[in-house]
Chains A and B, each alone.
Chain A
Amino acid sequence: MLTDALLLQLGYNATLVTLGAALLGAAAGVTGVFLVLGKRALVSDAVSHATLPGIGLAFIAMVMAGGDGRALPGLLLGAAAAAGLGLLCVSWLTRRTRLGEDAAIGAVLSVFFGAGVVLLTVIQTMSAGRQAGLETFLLGSTAGMLRSDALVIALAGALVLALVLALRRPMTLAAFDPDFAVARGLNVRRIDLAAMGLAMAITVIGLKIVGLILIVALLIIPPVAARFWSDRVDHVLALSGLLGGISGYGGAALSATAPGLPTGPLIVLLSFALFALSLLAAPRRGVLATLLRRRRAVAPGAGR
Chain B
Amino acid sequence: MKHDSTRPEAVRPAIPATAGDAPSVPLAISGLTVSYGDMPAVNDVSVAFRSGAMTAIIGPNGAGKSTLLKSALGIVTPLSGQVTCWGRPLARQRHRIAYVPQRAAIDWEFPARALDVVLMGMYRELGLLRRVRASHLARAMSCLARVGMEDFADRQIGRLSGGQQQRVFLARALAQGADLYMLDEPFAGVDAATERAIIAVLKEIVAEGGTVIAVHHDLATVPGYFDRVFLMNVHAIAEGPVATAFSRENLDLAYGGRLAQDPVGAAGARDAY
Contact = CB atoms under 8 A, between A and B. Distances in A.
Interface in B47-82: 70, 73-75
* Residues of B in contact with A, size category: 20 to 34
Given A177-B105, A183-B97, A185-B91, A231 B113 contact: yes
Given A166-B129, A177-B105, A231 B99 contact: no
Contact of A233 (B107, B116, B128): B116
A184 B94 contact: yes
Interface stretch (A132-140, A149-157, A168-176): A168-176
A170 B128 contact: yes
Given A169-B126, A177-B106, A183 B120 contact: no
Which of A173, A182, A235 has the most chain B CB within a 10 Å cutoff?
A: A182
Interface in B102-132: 105-107, 110-113, 116-117, 120, 123-124, 126-129
B73 to A, nearest CB: 5
Given A176-B107, A183-B73, A184-B124, A232 B116 contact: yes
A179 B70 contact: yes
Contacts of A186: 123
A233 B73 contact: no
B142 interface: no
A230 interface: yes
Contacts of B172: 180
Give the secondary structure class of A's interface: helix
* Residues of A in contact with B, size category: 20 to 34
B113 A180 contact: no
A227 to B, nearest CB: 6
Given A182-B74, A183-B73, A232 B111 contact: yes
Interface string A177-201: 1111011111000000000000000
Interface of B: 70, 73-75, 91, 94-95, 97, 99, 101, 105-107, 110-113, 116-117, 120, 123-124, 126-129, 156, 172
Interface of A: 37, 39, 166-167, 169-170, 172-173, 175-180, 182-186, 227, 230-233, 235-236
